[in-house]
Chains A and B, each alone.
Chain A
């Protein structure tokens, strides 16, 4: 009886070679693609770096054009992180250590749903619901805290400001921070937790003494990954922010991020302007690549020492 699994001698040997070659090819293709992303962005961005500074948008060269936008990108990402980090860690702790065991998994799914909603829908929600709701808050801030530069008035009457964009971004990166932190919190050795509780620690003391030291590296890298996402997020900012020059106030219209700048201008761009936007994309690529690499490096270092696997 011939069996489909065992038939064929030399043919099978060739099949082995072909198949392993195919898988190796696919693996290398990943590296090639990442390299190609960098290579083609650099290639298409070259004209901008070589061009006469007077011809660049703004007329003073590429770096003068790009730095306010880079700062704007960082501001938006920092606002998002400041909000999403404490909330995300709180939610992760709630799911891993506070919620009733039976509910925990279901709650995890619910928070993951936040990640499933497309970014353009968040953007639309930002304009339609969040921005109008924040207008009175901004008005109050401008009146009562206007002496702080970031709350300088007069406040935007549409609510389409940097702070709104940052809040929308924070909602979008929340599920990333939450799900990664949750995984790490759940990996805390049960013995450490039980030892702490047996010594009479309250739940919070147990978390502070057993869970946090174990999870520190993991949480830091989760936050870094959230930062990477916030830096590169396009549509929420493009829709929510009414952009302009770089200003310190977060409650006036103004500021811009790299991703939104590209999305807003790319459809009409050609020639040197196209190259400029691709150069901006290259800068964004380099920044997010660095952030992600640091995050992954922390995770991989953590894995070797944790003994969790």
Chain B
């Protein structure tokens, strides 16, 4: 039998609801304490910012646990511990993002000039780079040919994959009745999203290799490889968008005697067009940065090639790769590195712009779902 005792009223002002709780400033106090202690400890092993941050973070997590344990009890302490770990995970995830963007900006901006955007690497030999390093003059050569290649190949991939992707999505949403075929298509579209990009490149190379002889490399083959990567993305996003078109719209059209295909073309697709457009833009953003499939299908050149059906082509990603792996001048790699980073900056700007456009389209022209 537990013994009943009468508790005397608490002498302090805190009421029973907030008893055994840390005050709001406790967390900040622990943080300040661990930062100071972390600075002291990291000075012992030779001060640097990374060591300071790591030691302070570890101290903060541990101290937070024990401070909470002493006042609020074990369960709350565990909660505090996990919360701190999760916030730490988020900060850890942000570090590479910040580092990548900072590196690309810092290393890419010096190489960016009108000359870089409007000249190709045609005639750029190691001697030119050596001379520019020795004389301290501007780095010559640029990525114009790679920009042309990127735009053309991506354009062709879009032209092929958008109609196919759109029609397939229309089939899945409007025509299929949940049969085996549509379930197979849905399943394999999902599986296709996971095809490694280099395998898509190998497929295109193998396919055209059989038709036009091995070693055939053109921009169009690269576009076919990108199509394999792009179609599933287009289908998935279009499918999602068509699904949220309210059924009332379709029924209203049918009630007016409109045929099914005209309903789809004139009512369903226009209602969802903003979502479809943003999905397509995201798909373009995904394939524009692909390197491996281009490398095995379009080869690499230093001169401008406007014809996707004949001759090798360069794109921005392969340009970056080649400049880093095979610098134009093996003895002076700095000009090549500078060109690579400038091209990386252009590529990232392309991709970010596409993402931004996709989000804007989706937000401004959001479909009216009738809710």
Partner-B contacts on A (CB < 8 A): 4-6, 12-13, 15-16, 18-20, 22-31, 33-34, 36-37, 40-41, 43-44, 86-91, 93-95, 98-99, 107, 109-111, 113-114, 116-125, 127-129, 171, 174, 178, 202-205, 207, 225, 228-229, 231-235, 238-239, 259, 262-263, 266-267, 270, 274, 277-278, 281, 284-285, 288-289, 291-293, 295-296, 300
5 new A-B contacts, CB < 8 A, other than A30-B192, A229-B194, A288-B199, are A90-B88, A124-B324, A204-B79, A234-B197, A235-B291
The residue in chain A whose Cβ has the minimal distance to the Cβ of B289 is: A118
From known contacts A5-B258, A13-B259, A229-B194, infer whether A263 and B93 are also in contact, taking CB-CB under 8 Å: no
A128 partner residues in chain B, CB cutoff 8 A: 103, 107, 337
- Ordered by A's residue number, 24 sampled pairs between the chains whose C-beta atoms are within 8 Å are A5-B253, A19-B261, A20-B261, A26-B168, A26-B170, A26-B171, A30-B235, A34-B192, A37-B200, A37-B228, A87-B93, A116-B352, A117-B97, A120-B317, A120-B344, A121-B348, A123-B321, A232-B197, A234-B196, A235-B317, A239-B321, A263-B296, A267-B299, A293-B191
Q: Is chain B's interface secondary structure helix, strand, loop, or mixed overall?
A: helix
Residues of B within 8 A of A28 (CB): 181, 185
**B92: A residues at CB distance < 8 A:** 87
* A interface secondary structure, majority: helix
Q: Are A110 and B97 CB-contacts (below 8 A) given A118-B348, A267-B299?
A: yes
Give chain B residues whose Cβ lies under 8 Å from the Cβ of A285: 195-196, 199
Pick the residue among B89, B167, B290 that contacts A23 (CB under 8 A).
B167
Given contacts A30-B189, A44-B206, A278-B202, contact A90 B85 (CB under 8 A): yes
Tell whether, in the assembled complex, residue B78 and residue A120 are in contact, meaning their CB atoms are under 8 Å apart. no
The answer to whether A43 and B210 touch across the interface, beta carbons within 8 angstroms, is yes
Q: Mark the stretch among B109-117, B172-180, B302-310 that contacts chain A.
A: B172-180
Is B291 within 8 A of A120, CB to CB? yes
Chain B's interface size range is 35 or more
Q: How far is the CB of B91 from chain A (nearest CB, A)?
A: 9
Asked if B320 contacts A120 (CB within 8 A), the reply is: yes
- Is B17 positioned at the interface, with any CB of A under 8 Å from its CB? no
Contacts of B85 in A (CB 8 A): 90
